[in-house]
Structure 1
Amino acid sequence: MIRAGIYGATGYTGYELLKILTRHPKAAVGFASSTTYAGMRYSEVYPCTHEQVLVPPDQAPLGQIDVVFLCTPHGASAPYARRALAAGARCVDLSADFRLRDLAVYENWYGSHLAPELLPDAVYGLTEVYRQQIAGARLVANPGCYPTGPLLALHPLAREGIVIGDKVIIDAKSGVSGAGARPSPRTHFVAVHDNVSAYNVGRSHRHVPELEQELSLYAGRPLRVVFSPHLLPISRGILSTIYVSIDPSWNEQQVRSLWREAYQHEPFVQILDAGKMATLAHVVNTNRCAMSVSSAGIEGELILVTAIDNLLKGASGQAAQNMNVMFGLDETLGLPA
């Protein structure tokens, strides 16, 4: 039985992980930590039946743990990762602290890194792309919620060398849970209800360098991302519309076939048939990514649409999928397909 610990257990991603690990046949929760709610039972924080007593982070029994999940903000995760690895545990970090390989890029977007010596050890945790590296990793950097769907859609195209030009446009819309459990004026009910709003457009959203890092790596050359995120008046889910220019000798049927070949053995990637469009209804409360492709009406231009549940495939579900890979388990264990 894998003994798992959760730092930041009372945020949305921590709660999802607790639910996953509780039903996981090969894992058990060894500790769940919270600074705000330390000493309380989980059922006193959320309307649930989990009786796990929350411990202060500095009292987490790391010596009894096989894997630690960091559901903590960027900046806070890195010291916990250092502590967990020093205690002999493996680590899956759901923050941004280890996603960016270049320290200078990280510090430009997030500020000083508190454990830069660990960056070379981190494996980017997009399971379908980095499965072999994840299997042997001590430290996995779980992808951001917004990048997950577009990267899965674009990876086969970039690897095949059919993306032309230097720019990809991504318009993405997320449920409010993506903003985290702590409300702000922008995420209160009265601001979100009956409204759709864009935010952090252009080059101001912190997922831009993550998208560009990965897409440039897949393509073997620099690719620029124009990214426009939006907030939807729903609790969960991300729908991403991706505008991409490709080699004009390729069409949407060939791209769909390329996807099917690339993901034919992937339990959590759903390729939709011609004429079907990915929607949030395909994926909410599952660990799936649904993908569709359409012509933009002009030769060499395609519109890709991906849908994921931001709290599962975009966060806790993918984290548990990575844990399964790290410990040599069937990676579907504990996860809603």
Structure 2
Amino acid sequence: MPLSVAVAGASGYAGGELLRILSQHPEFEVTTVTAFTNAGQPLLAAQPHLRSLAHLTLVTTTAENLAGHDVVFLALPHGKSGEITAELPEGTLVVDCGADHRLRSEADWAAFYGGEFYGAWSYGMPELIHSGGGKQRGELEGTKRIAVPGCNVTAMSLGLAPAVEAGLVEADDIVAVLAVGPSGAGKSLKPHLLASELMGSASAYGVGGSHRHIPETQQNLRVAGATRVSLSFTPVLVPMSRGILATTTAKLAPGVTESDVRRAYELAYGDEPFVHVLPAGEYPRVADTVGANTCLIGLAVDEAAGRLVAISALDNLVKGTAGAAVQSANIALGLPETLGLTMNGVAP
């Protein structure tokens, strides 16, 4: 018998992608979808591409409407999910795609988000390598509370963690520039996200150390073994509806060669179903990840600058959000990790 699933924030981009994946999952049945301003409308009014879920109507996002399900996925703005999760039954698997339960440090939360601190949950990045070996998926087995990582965080963390864990780079000198699609900013109307503003242009945002994904990335690299992490991160909004191309560089430790780097990444990700290291001289394209739960990584050593260059590509709505949520839920429930997920993208 399928597990009953509720999705909160079902009218948004992340909620819609969750529903698209869940609609094809053999062990899940979506029975409740919720929203705030769109409550009362048919789901198809907000997500017309989800034809197989045409029978569902959006109801108000309340703990009462979410309770009683086996699994609850939350795709809500930061500060909203934390208000609800405390009221959900302990036996329900709750997967939060928002930021409310990602950070361990209350000081980091206060500095980058503000408002009430709700505490950290099991972190939903199964492939994140831990210092001394092991992966984050071990922390997900049997848990009832999962915090899904930020999309930019996933691209940067997966791109650099193996080098940090192996001691190949100095984590106090990291620079990352990410090309990001506007769907990562959500579905709410914002003038700078209008097509007439985006097309034929590119613009930086969250400049000067102000982006909220910085402390989360630093947290992950400390898990991988870094003692001090200095990250200069600049995201750049580009005219592609979805996707992230992250160019992350770090100063190499003395004596490190390109073969050392490739060996570390192949050891870290060689058996991973959704994180793929490309052959030497090849670099990923965002287009090859659209619709797939994959992160593709290309590696280079800039000998003149003495830096590692890790280029990672992913779909911010799949591996960056909804795919990671379902992958982590599979692990927590003891299901095959890849169930209901694909590594095949959509082309052209």
TM-score tier by shorter-chain length is over 0.9
CA distance in 2, matches of 1:297, 1:287: 32
Q: Is 1:298 aligned to residue 301 of structure 2? A: no
Deviation string, structure 1 residues 243-264 (Cα, Å, up to 9, x no partner): 1112232222321221111112
**Structure 2 SS opposite 1:75:** coil
Deviation of 1:175 after TM superposition, in Å, equals 0.8
Q: Is 1:336 aligned to residue 319 of structure 2? A: no
Contact 1:199–1:228 (CA under 8 A) maintained in structure 2: yes
Where does the alignment leave 5 or more consecutive residues of structure 2 unmatched? 129-135, 344-348
Deviation of 1:59 after TM superposition, in Å, equals 6.9
What is the aligned partner in structure 2 of residue 316 from structure 1? 322
CA distance in 2, matches of 1:62, 1:226: 39
Q: Which moved more, 1:26-35 or 1:38-47?
A: 38-47
What is the aligned partner in structure 2 of residue 27 from structure 1? 28
What is the aligned partner in structure 2 of residue 71 from structure 1? 75
Contact 1:68–1:84 (CA under 8 A) maintained in structure 2: no
What is the aligned partner in structure 2 of residue 176 from structure 1? 182
1:46-65 aligned within 5 A: 46-48=47-49, 49=51, 50-51=53-54, 52-58=56-62, 60-65=64-69
TM-score normalised by L of structure 1? 0.94
Q: Is 1:280 aligned to residue 283 of structure 2? A: no
Deviation string, structure 1 residues 95-121 (Cα, Å, up to 9, x no partner): 11111101121122111225x3xx25x
Deviation string, structure 1 residues 185-237 (Cα, Å, up to 9, x no partner): 21111110110111111211111111112212322401111000000101010
CA distance in 2, matches of 1:126, 1:148: 8
Deviation of 1:165 after TM superposition, in Å, equals 5.5
The alignment's C-alpha RMSD in Å is 1.5
Deviation of 1:183 after TM superposition, in Å, equals 2.2
Deviation string, structure 1 residues 161-183 (Cα, Å, up to 9, x no partner): 22225121000011111111012
Deviation of 1:310 after TM superposition, in Å, equals 0.3
Q: Which letter does structure 1 place at the counterpart of 2:292?
A: T
CA distance in 1, matches of 2:332, 2:12: 24
**Structure 2 SS opposite 1:84:** coil
1:74-223 aligned within 5 A: 74-86=78-90, 88-113=91-116, 116=118, 119=119, 122-129=121-128, 130-164=136-170, 166-223=172-229
Question: CA separation of 1:304/1:59 partners in 2, compared to 1, >3 Å: closer, same or farther?
Answer: closer
Deviation of 1:298 after TM superposition, in Å, equals 2.3
Q: Is 1:234 aligned to residue 240 of structure 2? A: yes
Aligned length: 332
Contact 1:246–1:301 (CA under 8 A) maintained in structure 2: yes
Question: CA separation of 1:288/1:330 partners in 2, compared to 1, >3 Å: closer, same or farther?
Answer: same
Contact 1:85–1:91 (CA under 8 A) maintained in structure 2: no
Contact 1:125–1:143 (CA under 8 A) maintained in structure 2: yes
Larger relative helix fraction: 1
What is the aligned partner in structure 2 of residue 250 from structure 1? 256
CA distance in 1, matches of 2:205, 2:37: 29
Contact 1:196–1:230 (CA under 8 A) maintained in structure 2: yes
Q: Which letter does structure 2 place at the counterpart of 1:94?
A: C
Q: Which moved more, 1:288-297 or 1:209-218?
A: 209-218
Q: Which letter does structure 2 place at the counterpart of 1:305?
A: I
Deviation of 1:84 after TM superposition, in Å, equals 2.0
Give the percent of matched residue pairs that are identical in Structure 1 and Structure 2.
36
**Structure 1 SS opposite 2:20:** helix
Deviation of 1:60 after TM superposition, in Å, equals 4.8
Q: Which letter does structure 1 place at the counterpart of 2:176?
A: I
Where does the alignment leave 5 or more consecutive residues of structure 1 unmatched? none
Contact 2:205–2:236 (CA under 8 A) maintained in structure 1: yes
**Structure 2 SS opposite 1:255:** helix
CA distance in 1, matches of 2:193, 2:167: 40
